[in-house]
Amino acid sequence: MVDVLPASPSQEKLRAELFAHGLLIDSGVPGVVGQGAAFVEVLQRVDAMVTKLAAVDRPERMSFPPVMPRSLLGASGYLRSFPQLTGSVWSFHGDESAAAQQADRADRGEDWGVHQRMTDVALVPAACHPVYPAMARRGPLPVDGVTIDAGAALVFRHEPSEDPARLQSFRQREIVRIGTASTVLAWRNDWRARANDMLLGLGLDVVMEEANDPFFGRSGRLLAANQRAQALKFELLAHITEPNRTAVASFNYHLDHFAVQHGIALSGGEPAHTACLGFGLERIVVGLLATHGLEPAHWPATVRTALWS
C-alpha cells in the first residue's frame, strides 16, 4: 500500500468540519468521500456557471464514463509519465471453488488479489483522454477545429490523502479545444482570463501561475522542466488551507502530442494541436466553504447571486 499523504493541521481541521456538517461523508478510505445535499447543490451551480461561460464557444457536448480502454493509458503516454497515479481495473476469473476461496480470504482480511485478472479497462486519469480517440474516429475535422465540452467527468488519481481538497475520485469540469496551434493557444489564453474572473467573482483568493504535471521519478524532472520552459501549463491556485495554495483549475496546451498519438488531423491534412481546461469542481466547492463558511445560505449576497442567478 502507498503511504497516505498526511494533512496539515489546517487541512485536518477543515476535513473534520466538512464531515461534522454532513457536507462530505467519510468512507474510511482517504480521498474517497460522499457528498451531502448542500455540497451537491453548490457543485452543480459551479458546473452550471462554467457551462454558461463556455456558451460563447458553442462547444459540442459529450460525456464519457469513469472507465476507458486500458490501451489508452499506454497510447497517451500516461502510463510512462504518471504510473503512480493510474488505476487499472481487475476482475475475478475462475470457477466456483476459486470464488469461494476468494470470498473466504476477503472475510479473513487476507489478500485476495491472486484470484483477479486485469480487464480491458482502466480508470480515466484525466477527463480529456477519451475525447481524442473519439475525435480521431470521426476523421478530418473542420478547418476551425472543434470544441468539446466533456462536462463534469469523473477521474481517478491514486494518491490517498487526508487533505479534503485532494481526492482520489473527483469531477473535472473539462473542455477541450482542437484546431491549429494559434487557434488553440488563443482559446487557452482567453480561458485563463475568463476562469480567473469567474473564481474572483465567487470571492476566492486565486492567483494564476505557470505549473507542471507531477511526472514520475528523476527522468520526470526533465519533462516537468520542459513543460515549464514552454509555458504549456497554467494553474489557478486558491487559498483554501495552510500552508500552500491549491490548484483549482488548469489550462493546458499539448502542442501536437495527443493529435499525433491518436491521429487527429484538420481538414487540409494539417496536424492538429490540442488544449484543454479543467475546473476541479470539488476543490472549488471546498474552497468556497473554507472562504465563506460552512452554510451556503449565509454566504455573501454577491456570491449567492453569481451561483444561483
Minimum CB–partner distance for residue 42 and a copy of itself (Å)? 12
Stretch that binds a copy of itself, among 114-122, 185-193, 202-210, 284-292 (CB under 8 A): 114-122
CB 284 within 8 Å of CB 306? no
- Shortest gap between Cβ of 194 and a copy of itself (angstroms)? 22
3-state secondary structure of 107: helix
6 or 9, CB closer to a copy of itself? 6
DSSP state of 71: H
CA distances from 166 to 55, 238, 272 (A): 29, 13, 33
Of 49, 11, 306, the C-alpha closest to 173 is 49
Three-state SS at 136:
helix
> What residues between 14 and 53 interact with a copy of itself by CB under 8 A?
25-29, 32-37, 39-41
Contact segment (CB under 8 A) with a copy of itself among 49-57, 106-114, 178-186, 226-234 equals: 106-114
Phi then psi for 72, rounded to 5 degrees?
A: -65, -30
Candidates 189, 219, 226, 305; binder of a copy of itself (CB under 8 A) is 219
d(CA 195, CA 236): 8
**Interface mask (CB under 8 A) for a copy of itself, residues 141-180, using x and -?**
----------x--x-x-x-x------xxxx----------
Q: Which is nearer to a copy of itself, 37 or 301 (CB)?
A: 37
Give the separation between CA 244 and CA 226, rounded to whole angstroms.
24
Which of residues 209 and 295 has its CB atom nearest to a copy of itself in the complex? Answer: 295
Residue whose entry in the numeric block shows the C-alpha cell 509555458: 231
Mark the segment that binds a copy of itself (CB under 8 A) among 45-53, 117-125, 178-186, 226-234. Answer: 117-125
> Which one of residues 8, 10, 51, 116 is an interface residue with a copy of itself (CB under 8 A)?
116
DSSP element (H, E) containing 206? strand 206-210
**Integer angstrom CA distances of residue 22 from 18, 43, 192, 283:** 6, 15, 33, 17
- Residue 64 interacting with a copy of itself (CB under 8 A): yes
- Binder to a copy of itself among 20, 48, 52, 93 (CB under 8 A)? 93
